Amino acid sequence: MELTTVWFLLIAVLWTGYFVLEGFDFGVGILLPVLGRDEADRRTVLASIGPVWDGNEVWLLVAGGATFAAFPEWYATLFSGFYVPLFLILVALILRGVAIEYRNKSDSTRGWDRAMFFGSLLPAFLWGVAFANIVRGVPLDADHEYTGSLLTLLNPYALLGGLATLVLFVLHGALFLALRTTGDLRARAVSLAGKAGLAALAVGGAFLVITQLTAGRPATWVSAALAAAGIAGALAATRRGRDGRAFAANAVAIVAVTVTLFGNLWPDVMPALDPAHSLTVENASSSPYTLTVMTWVAVVFTPLVLAYQGWTYWVFRRRLTGSGT
């Protein structure tokens, strides 16, 4: 297997890890004003992601860095053409991080809670918009420069993709809270997960069907079907009180959605509306020497990062009570 293909797969894995782990962070942040009826509840909701949220964001940093090093043409075209939505995502992530760290140091928490809500809502929606446009294709010229506008990115298909990731992450957050909390807060999270699951099946199913009919491949029909089965399995497990299985099933659904998108993308990394101008794993990649060095670095350090993050989740695996402990 060529190193360009290897790094395309590694970047897909990094985005998959980011969506699975940061996805429930986004969902928890969005659900903060919905499930947090009083200050004790809100503290518990935030405590559920307190030890892990910053580690989950590392996946995004590594995915961006890997894209810059392995496919610089892809990175340049993506970050210039998608500048506004990516800038909004960056601002939202900064606001969310500040809100988590400084909420308990302020006399008034209302402003920080709003920052947490919108700092989670915007990325959850805009990541879907961005990836829907990447799979659909964007206007590029012969020099691989983006020639569209912001309105070009806000097409109906991309907006549907944004809604799909939004409801999927809300479901993921509700299932995570059901897994990590007890009592009335858990009961409300379970109830909301049932409603969010039905919405995810409807909106996400519509998005994946349109994706498969317009840009799909035979193999990715399997992953699209697995995504639907994962959400349905999460709903079934939730009704039986199997919180861990429900969360795992929805994680499988997120993995399957990401596999569907990247599977339909390859060998392109940034399809153009004119196929002759598309960026591929070949014409967007770095030199073989750069890819070789990066591969050895990844082989050495990736297991260490995974082991550390796995240890963190193991240490903070206990359910939280209403006091946030």
How confident is the model at residue 129, as a pLDDT?
Answer: 95
According to the model, what pLDDT value does residue 223 have? Answer: 94
| Burial of 314: CB neighbours in 10 Å, binned 0-12, 13-18, 19+ | exposed
Helix residue ranges, H only, 71-182: 72-81, 83-102, 110-136, 150-153, 156-180
Exposed/middle/buried for 88, CB within 10 Å: 0-12, 13-18, 19+? middle
User: Right CATH number for 3-315 from 1.10.287.610, 2.60.40.1220, 3.20.20.70, 1.20.1630.10?
Assistant: 1.20.1630.10
Who's near 83: CB < 8 A, 6+ residues apart?
none
DSSP state of 102: H
Strands 268-270 and 279-280 come out as antiparallel
> What pTM was computed for the model?
0.91
pLDDT the model gives residue 1: 61
pLDDT of residue 301: 82
- Kindly state the tokens that stand for 104: 């308990």
CA distance 271 to 265: 8
C-beta separation of 197 from 235 below 8 A: yes
Q: Half-sphere exposure (CA, 13 Å, Cβ side) for 14?
A: 20
How many CB atoms are closer than 10 A to CB 94?
A: 12
Spatial distance between the Cα atoms of 155 and 214, rounded to a whole number of angstroms = 15
CA distances from 92 to 22, 97, 98, 294 (A): 14, 9, 10, 30
Closest CA to 203 of 128, 93, 122: 128
Neighbours of 277 (CB within 10 A): 19
Structure tokens at 137: 């294709």
Going from N- to C-terminal start, the domains of the chain cover 3-315
81 close to 146: Cβ distance less than 8 angstroms:
yes
Task: Give 10-residue mean pLDDT values along the chain (325 residues).
Answer: 87 93 93 87 87 83 89 90 91 90 78 91 95 92 87 93 96 94 90 93 94 90 95 94 93 95 92 89 87 86 82 76 55
DSSP state of 273: S
